[in-house]
Amino acid sequence: MTVLKIGTLSMERKTRYDNKAKEYVSDNLPAQSVRYDHIIHAITDHDLDILLCSGDFLDTSHMNKLLRYLKTNSCKTIVVADIDGRTTKLSPSKSSHWPFTRGQALYRIEAKEAKPVLLAKQTLVSSRELTSASKANGFASALISQLHHRNFTVKGKTVATMICGEINYFKLPKGGTVGIFDKAYQQIADHIADADIVLNPTHDRMGSNRGVLEAKREYLSRGIKGRNRCYVSASNWDINKLKQGSVDHFAQTRKAEGNHSVYVCGVNQKAHLKRVPVKDPKMLLSVIDVKL
């Protein structure tokens, strides 16, 4: 049995209407320096194997600063962080598949590497985008082209990564069980099933139907052929979140259980996921020992 100490770190954000851009945007409220400092404290105080940060977390400058810290201090922690798309422009991909060109990038920051390692770019935001077979094939090709980049290992365990709404490659039919949304996604499902740990950072808490989301998380962490498996998610909370298909807003809260989620072999580990006191009330850190 392998024991992994995993941390999840997320932050408060606020949606507002940008009159110049004429669209809604979400501002991450803690400054980049505050987010960086909380990563350092999480690493130094808790001896983590993996620290999963929520979406939009660090710009490239702070990622490089973090890498220098990890190297200087010989830290074992692997930090997985989504780039802050509000502060850093991404170069478009040369891929011919349009979903691959628009996604925010997820990075692995690890002391042994020369630079932050690109793991993935987000390919899917919502199941509402999957409206035709041709689109299904396009999304599948976009993600499949990235699969060989999306894994890494820690303590002999394989870690796979999914970004935010990519969990919607899986669906829960009424009265049925969780499976792939379209047959084009079978290779994606097989790739996820081969991993021991699935990391799924999100930009804020997903979905109005918690039951469906929980069922997907149970499925993604299910034991396979005697292997214990784990699913981990870290989500920001939006204190002025825009309701889907509406101009109305509502407040997500820091205390919500779903901000950080860990499932092992289909079982929610909320009883074992410890929330750790932090300096800034706009930040949230949780720590858990996972046995695989």
pLDDT, tens digit (0-9, with 9 covering 90-100), for 111-149: 999 999 999 888 877 766 666 666 778 778 888 888 988
Given a contact cutoff of 8 angstroms between Cβ atoms, the answer to whether 229 and 195 are in contact is yes
Alpha carbons 38 and 34: distance in angstroms, whole number: 6
Segment 239-261 mean pLDDT: 86
Measured CA to CA, the distance from residue 62 to residue 83 in angstroms comes to 10
Range picked from 98-107, 115-124, 199-208, 213-222 for highest mean pLDDT = 213-222
Contact (CB, 8 A) for 35 and 57 = yes
pLDDT at residue 181 tops 50: yes
Residues 6 or more apart whose CB falls under 8 angstroms from that of 255 comprise none
Q: What is the mean pLDDT of residues 223-237?
A: 96
Q: What is the mean pLDDT of residues 54-64?
A: 94
Strands 241-242, 78-82: parallel, antiparallel or unpaired by DSSP?
unpaired
β-pairing, 230-234 vs 170-171, is unpaired
**Which range, of 48-57, 67-76, 236-245, 252-261, averages the lowest pLDDT?**
236-245
User: Alpha-carbon distance 83 to 236, whole Å?
Assistant: 14
**pLDDT tens for residues 62-121?**
999 999 999 999 999 999 999 886 654 444 344 333 333 456 789 999 999 999 999 988
- E strands in 183-225: 197-199
227 has a pLDDT exceeding 90 = yes
How far apart CA 240 and CA 205 sit, in angstroms, is: 12
Q: Which of 164, 143, 147 is nearest to 53 (CA)?
A: 164
Q: Residue 94 has what pLDDT?
A: 40
Q: How far is CA 216 from CA 1, 50, 126, 219, in A?
A: 25, 22, 14, 5
Per-chain mean pLDDT for the chain: 88
Ordered structural domains, the chain, with CATH: 3-291 (3.60.110)
> Element (H or E) spanning 70, and its range?
helix 60-72
